[in-house]
Amino acid sequence: MIMEPTEVNTEVISSYFSREIDLSCKFIDLIDELNSSLELLELPKSIQCIYNPTIYARHTFEKYVCKYCNTKKQIVYFGMNPGPWGMSQTGVPFGEIGSVRDWLRIEGPVGKPSKEVITRPIKGFNCSRTEISGKRFWGLFKDLCDTPENFFNTSFVYNYLPQQWMKSNGCNITPADFKMMEMEPLFEICDPIFIRVLELYDVKTIVAIGKFCEVRAHRALKKYLPDHSIQVVYLPHPSPRSVNNNNWDQKARDHLKKYDLLKFYANSQ
């Protein structure tokens, strides 16, 4: 069942495409379908706790979708899954709290997952931790675009998996930490939904954030959309855990310039 978003501003309209009033609802339906399938998925035993902010942070997740994902988009920034101090707290992809509240202008109540790990509490917008990946990601586009509207005119952000996985002690686990064979049941659920998201928004370019997403994008397209003309390009992940990643901002700019994507963002010249 889709919860009705409360006082959501849906006025961000792409200058490149005509308005489709129900596009955000179609996207949310896909996420609900994805979540229903994930509920039945048997995961490796090392995964002891799962947070899904598209469920318990539904209010702010829907704000993000209805405010910024309500028109066709040429470009999708394709991430893997929520981070503990970002989307898991705010319901927004790469959702570092300051960026979400102060730049994207999204804020609201956040509930609790059914099972909460004491070392990874969900405090919503009262969380005092900063997610560096989200701060770097949205900080880059704040510098390039000035306003969120200049980013979302042509682009949006989508996570392959809406779940954060943890060990019993709260240690973060990602799909990239497992062998590909172990994740095949997950791929069979997430790949088709990803393809339907691409079709829904008429995406022309996938910017895969990190190697896992680059591989997943190519394989999903090959299997489910073999005659596609969608471009897949790579962007280094903004995580500080990545080797030699202190200058991520410049690396990201260089990659966007290489693939001729800077032209889509107003302040990039």
Instruction: Enter the tokens of residue 217.
Output: 């994008």
Average pLDDT over all residues of the chain: 92
Query: Quick one: pLDDT at residue 244?
Result: 77
Residue 10 confidence (pLDDT) above 60: no
Q: What ranges do the domains of the chain cover?
A: 23-262
Residue 16 confidence (pLDDT) above 90: no
Instruction: Enter the tokens of residue 131.
Output: 């997610």
Question: pTM score > 0.85 for this model?
Answer: yes
46, 167 in Cβ contact below 8 A? yes
Q: Looking at the DSSP assignment, which residues form a beta bridge with residue 230?
A: none
What strands, in cross-sheet order, belong to the sheet with 231-235? 155-159, 75-79, 205-209, 231-235
From CA 37, how far away is CA 34, in angstroms rounded?
5
In the predicted model, what is the mean pLDDT of residues 59-70?
Answer: 97
Query: Quick one: pLDDT at residue 8?
Result: 44
% of the chain at pLDDT higher than 90: 87
Q: Helix, strand, coil: what percent of the chain each, to 5?
A: 45, 10, 45
Query: Quick one: pLDDT at residue 161?
Result: 98
**Which of 79, 19, 17, 4 lies closest to 234 in space, CA to CA?**
79
The pairing of strands 231-235 and 205-209 is: parallel
pLDDT tens profile 95-141? 999 999 999 999 999 999 999 999 999 999 999 999 999 999 999 99
What separation in angstroms does the CA of 3 have from each of 20, 29, 98, 105? Answer: 20, 11, 25, 20
76, 157 in Cβ contact below 8 A? yes
In the predicted model, what is the mean pLDDT of residues 202-215?
Answer: 98
In the predicted model, what is the mean pLDDT of residues 154-170?
Answer: 97
Checking 177-180 for CB contacts under 8 A at 24+ apart, the result is: 178/44
Query: Quick one: pLDDT at residue 21?
Result: 55
Query: Quick one: pLDDT at residue 245?
Result: 81
In the predicted model, what is the mean pLDDT of residues 63-69?
Answer: 97
CATH code: domain 23-262 is 3.40.470.10
DSSP letter string, 13-56: --SSS---TTHHHHHHHHHHHHHHHHHT----TT--EEE-HHHH
Query: Quick one: pLDDT at residue 3?
Result: 46
Query: Quick one: pLDDT at residue 243?
Result: 73
Residue 41 confidence (pLDDT) above 90: yes
Query: Quick one: pLDDT at residue 267?
Result: 63
pLDDT tens profile 234-262? 999 999 887 778 899 999 999 999 999 99
**Which of 94, 132, 86 lies closest to 110 in space, CA to CA?**
86
